[in-house]
Amino acid sequence: MKFETISIFGLGYIGLPTAAAFAGRKTKVIGVDVSQQVVDTINRGEIHIVEPELDLLVNAAVTQGFLRATRDAEPADAFLIAVPTPFTDGNRPDLSYVEAASRAIAPVLKKGDLVVLESTSPVGATEKVAQWLAEDRPDLSFPQQVGESSDIRVAHCPERVLPGKVVHELVQNDRVIGGLTRRCAEVARDLYQTFVQGECILTDARTAEMCKLTENSFRDVNIAFANELSMIAEKLDINVWDLIRLANRHPRVSILQPGPGVGGHCIAVDPWFIVDSAPEEARLIRTARVVNDDKPRYVVGRIQRVASRFKEPVIACLGLAFKADIDDLRESPAIEIVEELASQSLGHILVVEPNIGELPQSLAQHVELCDTADALNRADIVALLVDHREFRSIDLRKLHEKAVVDTRGAFHAAR
């Protein structure tokens, strides 16, 4: 099947690189976003997020006329939904952005179109998309009504790219594609094969939804194991980085790295979608979430104990992002830790985050943003919260005579 025009709803960390990937294959892409600022930035050939290589791709796509952004839905042959699926305060998935995108697409749908949900979603969400579309377009037929002969095809194809490596992984990774019918999955595969070089593996929509949640829960559970080990090791006076390195010499053991907690908008969120769907059964998955969510509090406790040895300590917190070498502060355990330290007035807090220009609002009044050299000169206590490249190359002699809390093993690993 030939797709002349593709429309992508949500021009964020996933939608924008995906738009650029299609445009790079000389497919006309209409990007739709609710933010006028995002639309204007992209139409100038610029980007509003930090992701290696993406700026060049978007610039080329826009200047060559293959990518255009707008706030309003326009007709296309395929629609991709890549909007956020956050969770509410009670850890329940919030599908309101997906519903809004579906209802925006409905009026411009025509017979033969494909709609793909890319957003990470609870099991059953793709069926809901099809329902919302069907409610708004009674003149068209949908897979849940007539099966294979439907006018509109609906599928789920979860994104699986790693922030920081999106441009590469988008093309190289395998894609799991789940259709509401087999034909829906096949048509979606035709679409993704425009740029995906990895394998496109077909299944049903519910399995594809659960597959994405499973991948991130696997990681969450394994990071929780590492985090729990780090607390046990500290109690028993064992160096956890050495411990894991040695245990991993076993051919069937592969322990992940402990840290200050799990951040980002995926691994700290997706397991809750499983817990919400099967609360009685998802015991280990829930406990892993609790262990990881508790880790920032544990780190604050460690810094507090160290700070109690000083009168009015200068505490340098290295890193705010949710992981190394990105600018993404969402759900970042480092932010949680710095906020908590600031609220306790433990001393003067310096923050170094090489990937941002200004502090987030929650911190702006309470801490000072500075560079690594300045922080290391002035600090009594150095708390390494993110293992950014810049921090991994710190000359360890600069840490002599300072109290160090290294939550990532960055000052240990390579030396």
Stretch that binds ligand SAJ, among 27-35, 155-163, 244-252, 296-304 (CB under 6 A): 155-163
Burial class (CB in 10 A: 0-12, 13-18, 19+), 283: exposed
**To which H or E segment does residue 206 belong?**
helix 205-235
When asked if residue 161 is in the footprint of ligand SAJ (CB under 6 A), the reply is: yes
Q: Which is nearer to ligand SAJ, 33 or 270 (CB)?
A: 270
How many chain residues touch ligand SAJ (CB under 6 A)?
Answer: 20
Of 184, 200, 212, 295, the active-site residue reads 212
Q: Which is nearer to ligand SAJ, 152 or 351 (CB)?
A: 351
Q: Which is nearer to ligand SAJ, 60 or 233 (CB)?
A: 233
CA distances, 58 to each of 82, 142, 212 (Å): 17, 34, 27
Q: Which is nearer to ligand SAJ, 162 or 278 (CB)?
A: 162
Question: Which of 234, 195, 217, 337 is CA-nearest to residue 271?
Answer: 217
Stretch that binds ligand SAJ, among 77-85, 132-140, 160-168, 360-368 (CB under 6 A): 160-168
Longest dimension (CA), the chain: 75
Binding ligand SAJ by CB under 6 A: which of 34, 231, 256, 404?
256
Binding ligand SAJ by CB under 6 A: which of 11, 140, 266, 299?
266
What are residue 102's phi and psi, to 5 degrees?
A: -60, -45
CA 211 – CA 120 distance, rounded (Å): 10
When asked if residue 284 is in the footprint of ligand SAJ (CB under 6 A), the reply is: no
Binding ligand SAJ by CB under 6 A: which of 120, 121, 126, 230?
120
Relative to beta strand 175-179, strand 153-156 is antiparallel
266 is catalytic: yes
User: Which two three-digit tokens encode residue 81?
Assistant: 């939904």
Residue 215 CB, nearest approach to ligand SAJ (Å): 4
Question: Which of 294, 301, 317 is CA-nearest to residue 380?
Answer: 317
- Angle, in degrees to the nearest 10, between helices 205-235 and 240-247: 120
When asked if residue 219 is in the footprint of ligand SAJ (CB under 6 A), the reply is: yes
**Contact set for ligand SAJ, span 320-379 (CB under 6 A):** 322-323
- DSSP type of residue 316: E
Stretch that binds ligand SAJ, among 55-63, 232-240, 243-251, 261-269 (CB under 6 A): 261-269
User: Which two three-digit tokens encode residue 309?
Assistant: 């040895």
Binding ligand SAJ by CB under 6 A: which of 267, 320, 337, 403?
267
Asked if 264 and 412 touch (Cβ cutoff 8 Å), the reply is: no
Stretch that binds ligand SAJ, among 36-44, 61-69, 139-147, 258-266 (CB under 6 A): 258-266
The residue type of 225 is F
Binding ligand SAJ by CB under 6 A: which of 24, 178, 264, 347?
264
Beta bridge partners of 368: 350
Active site residues: 212, 266
Residues forming contacts to ligand SAJ in the complex (CB under 6 A) are: 120, 159-163, 215-216, 219, 223, 256-257, 259, 262-264, 266-267, 322-323
